[in-house]
Amino acid sequence: MSAIVPDLEAASAEEVLAYAVEAFHPRLTMACSFQKEESVLVHMLSAIEPSARVFMIDTGVLFPETLASWKRFEERFGLKIEVVDACSPDEPWTAERCCGAAKVDALERALVGVDAWITGIRREQASTRSGTAKLERDSRRGIWKFSPLADWTERDLWGYIRQHDLPYNQLHDRGYGSIGCAPCTAPGEGREGRWVGQAKTECGIHL
């Protein structure tokens, strides 16, 4: 990547991904949680670069529907999704400990050796994500972070999924706007079903 950071805010999702591949592949990876955003991104990325790396974090408490989506994604998009096994907390289970040990630590391992990563976060998902840029420096890890769908809406996502007849997590059809681990996720609009009743809005991956 050149010393001059490009302004990608007016670029389409496909253009952002194409730039990410051109600038960083093969030292580029994409996080996949098998939500509607990843249905779109994996479809786009696999078309641009079939050998692009995609990883998932297996916390051991994912929904069966999420695990089923994993297989459907691999079959449809013709790729092998890397599995990062999450370390299990040694102490009694809590959401905070699980997110720290299971997700954040696993992410750090997944990003070893890469110069950039791709996420599916969008500005309209939560106030904590409203300032998301399509390309920004992940100062915590010293690498670049792409969010090609930052300016996409729910309508944009479902329009694309239906247009291309893409596989998606069936929990979305049962009222789950956002999908994480089974113990901490309930049906709800947007991210309101995550960590219900707890003073928590993010697992820590994007903080």
Where does the chain show beta strands of DSSP type E? 28-31, 53-58, 82-85, 116-118, 135-138, 143-146
**Other beta carbons less than 10 A from residue 169's beta carbon:** 23
Q: What percent of the chain has pLDDT over 70?
A: 82
Which residue out of 32, 99, 184, 203 is catalytically annotated? 203
Q: DSSP E strands: which ranges in 59-98?
A: 82-85
Which residues, given as ranges, of the chain have pLDDT below 70?
1-3, 87-101, 188-207
Three-state helix/strand/coil letters over 188-199: ECCCCCECCCCC
- The answer to whether 56 and 35 have CB atoms below 8 angstroms apart is no
The CB density around residue 174, as the number of other CB atoms within 10 Å, is 9
Tell me which DSSP letter residue 88 carries: P
pLDDT at residue 138, rounded to an integer = 95
Q: φ, ψ for residue 24 (rounded to 5)? A: -130, -20
Q: What is the pLDDT of residue 206?
A: 47
**The one-letter amino acid at 1:** M
203 is catalytic: yes
Q: Which domains does the chain have, with CATH numbers?
A: 13-184 (3.40.50.620)
Distance between CA atoms of residues 137 and 80, nearest Å:
27
